[in-house]
């Protein structure tokens, strides 16, 4: 069974509401805890954990990057599409859906290793059959590559495709809020 990937807050063992001082303190503690001198019997593990702590600190100690990261936690990748039923007269749509579902799964499997290819698969899947999960995942990737206006457009499209899904509407609101905060932060520089 694969090990659960920890988020940056879990790596530093802090709460998402942590202050900058708490982040700094937790980072120093993790560097001490994972230092190879304190773990001579497992140097590879110590190096990996130290690298994770450094990566987490880089993101969480930068206010703008932290805001984006917090948004990404809220807007996590969809890993499956719901089953759909098709009537006897909708067999063409069923084939499109099945092809789209295959491309969707390929996009999910590529997400951790190759965001550009994952985005391409999601775009192809969306072109084959319009599913909210597919365009939503495009929005997640656009957010990760700092294309927030494209992300907002994708999230809005997902909300339009599934108006009863309140999560999509909340993500649209959160994305707009993130964009305002980032614009405000850029303006104060």
Q: List every span in the chain annotated with CATH 1.25.40.10.
A: 79-187
Pair of tokens at residue 20: 């900058």
CB atoms within 10 A of CB 175: 24
- Measure the CA–CA gap between 152 and 136, rounded to whole angstroms: 10
- Measure the CA–CA gap between 125 and 127, rounded to whole angstroms: 5
Are 72 and 137 within 8 A, CB to CB? Answer: no
* pLDDT for the residue 4: 53
Residue 7: which of 51, 70, 68 has the closest Cα?
A: 70
Could you tell me what percentage of the chain is helix, strand and coil, using 3-state DSSP and rounding each to the nearest 5?
75, 0, 25
Class of domain 8-61: mainly alpha
Q: List every span in the chain annotated with CATH 1.10.287.110.
A: 8-61
Q: From first to last of its 189 residues, what are the pLDDT tens digits of the chain?
A: 344 567 999 999 999 999 999 999 999 999 999 988 888 899 899 999 999 999 999 999 998 889 889 998 888 899 999 888 888 788 788 899 999 999 999 999 999 899 999 999 999 999 999 999 999 999 999 998 889 999 999 999 999 999 999 999 999 999 999 999 888 877 765
Q: What is the DSSP string of 154-184?
A: HHHHHHHH-TT-HHHHHHHHHHHHHHHHHHH
The correct answer on CATH 1.25.40.10 for the domain covering 79-187 is yes
pTM: predicted TM-score of the whole model, two decimal places: 0.80
């Amino acid at each position: 069974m694969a090990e659960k990937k920890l988020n940056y807050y879990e790596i530093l063992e802090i709460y998402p509401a942590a202050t900058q001082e708490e982040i700094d303190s937790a980072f120093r503690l993790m560097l001490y805890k994972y230092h190879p001198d304190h773990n001579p019997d497992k140097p590879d593990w110590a190096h990996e954990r130290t690298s994770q702590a450094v990566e987490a600190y880089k993101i969480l100690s930068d206010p703008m990057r932290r805001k984006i990261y917090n948004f990404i936690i809220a807007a996590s990748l969809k890993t499956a599409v719901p089953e759909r039923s098709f009537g006897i007269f909708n067999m063409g749509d069923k084939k499109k859906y099945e092809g789209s579902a295959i491309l969707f799964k390929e996009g999910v499997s590529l997400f951790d290793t190759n965001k550009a290819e994952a985005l391409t698969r999601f775009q192809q899947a969306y072109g084959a059959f319009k599913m909210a999960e597919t365009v939503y995942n495009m929005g997640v990737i656009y957010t990760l590559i700092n294309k927030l206006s494209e992300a907002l457009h994708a999230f809005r499209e997902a909300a339009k495709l599934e108006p009863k899904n309140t999560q999509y509407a909340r993500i649209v609101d959160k994305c707009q809020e993130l964009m305002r905060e980032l614009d405000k932060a850029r303006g104060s520089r």
